[in-house]
Amino acid sequence: MALFRRGSTWWVDFTSPGGKRTRVSAGTENKQEAQEFHDKLKAEAWRVGRLGERPTYTWDQAAWQWLTETAHKRTHEEDKVKLRWLQQYLGGTPLDAISRDLVMQIGNQKAKDASPATANRYLALIRAILRKASREWEWVDRVPKITLFKEAKRRVRWLTPDQVRRLLDRLQPHTRELVLFSLATGLRQANVLKLEWSQVDLTRRVVWFHCDQMKNQVSHHVSLNDTAYDVLVRQKGKHPERVFTFRGKPIVNANTRAWRNALKDAGINDFRWHDLRHCWASWLVQNGTPLYAVQELGGWQSVQMVQRYAHLSPANLADHAKTIDAVIALP
């Protein structure tokens, strides 16, 4: 078939004289426009096959190739969501026609709709795909320089023990257990929600995560303190595989209306679930835990990621600063 529809969008499907199959979105709901796109691609395929010209590749082909090569990556599904949104701007566009101005127009629109930080994730994906197309696939000679937006440094949001107690008193029992375990271990929401009993050893008091379960793709283990251990003991027998459940089923989302209402009732504003991890790290630093130890406990790959907590240990730094007094030792 030359043209077919997926939903309301027309797609092109043909085989070139050299036997290569081309199957790509025309990026339009208009059949006539799709036919013109088809004819153009087929003519180019003929020139490539008969005259030896290099084919003109489109964004659709590059996006498809990217998804094919990165299907094993943790961000695969996220990339698919981003690419669906980008299709409205880049669908059917030849790679050599993608200019810096076009990319920045897309970035500006996403920044307007969401935030500069979110726009940067989309710009980074465009840049990665175009670089692949140029450096590895050799589909295009050069790609535009893409500059990301400057992102404001986010402050560290943490709670005092009194605020945490007020919050815990207002949570439903199953959510309270999730919050306690998160505060006790510093684990990300996804790692807590997806935790399985096969990853838990209560005898050795440890839980572990394989590299494909971690954000940084590095395997990680967590030693269980008394709070975390007690939470796990209370979950025993509730489900054969998953640790945290509600009414017999695994919990899939912690950022619920009940969670937000509990925060409001506790008088806590501007606080996200991920900030529980900030609480854990902040409390460790405030109580004298060295940054390198926080890095190891939290599974961060670089010390730069924990530098944001350094200002929370002024007393410890003051003790080190006093070392100079002994060196100078003025009478």
Q: What type of residue is 47?
A: R
Q: What are phi and psi of 58, to 5 degrees?
A: -105, 170
Considering the candidates 47, 166, 215, 239, report the single residue annotated as catalytic. 215
Asked if 278 is an active-site residue, the reply is: no
Cα separation, 311 vs 316, whole angstroms: 10
3-state secondary structure of 131: helix
Catalytic: which of 38, 82, 110, 188?
188
From the list 11, 66, 139, 309, the catalytic residue is 309
Q: Tell me if residue 215 is catalytic.
A: yes
Among 210, 274, 292, 311, which one carries the catalytic annotation? 274
Q: Would you call 188 a catalytic residue per the annotation?
A: yes
**Strand, coil or helix: what is 181?**
helix
Cβ–Cβ under 8 Å, residues 221 and 208: yes
Helices (H), the chain: 31-51, 59-69, 76-90, 100-113, 116-135, 161-169, 173-185, 189-193, 226-235, 257-265, 275-286, 291-298, 314-321, 323-328
Most distant pair of Cα atoms in the chain: their distance: 94
Among the listed residues 110, 220, 277, 278, the single catalytic one is 277
Active site residue 50: no
CB 182 within 8 A of CB 272: no
Asked if 274 is an active-site residue, the reply is yes
Catalytic residues: 188, 215, 274, 277, 300, 309
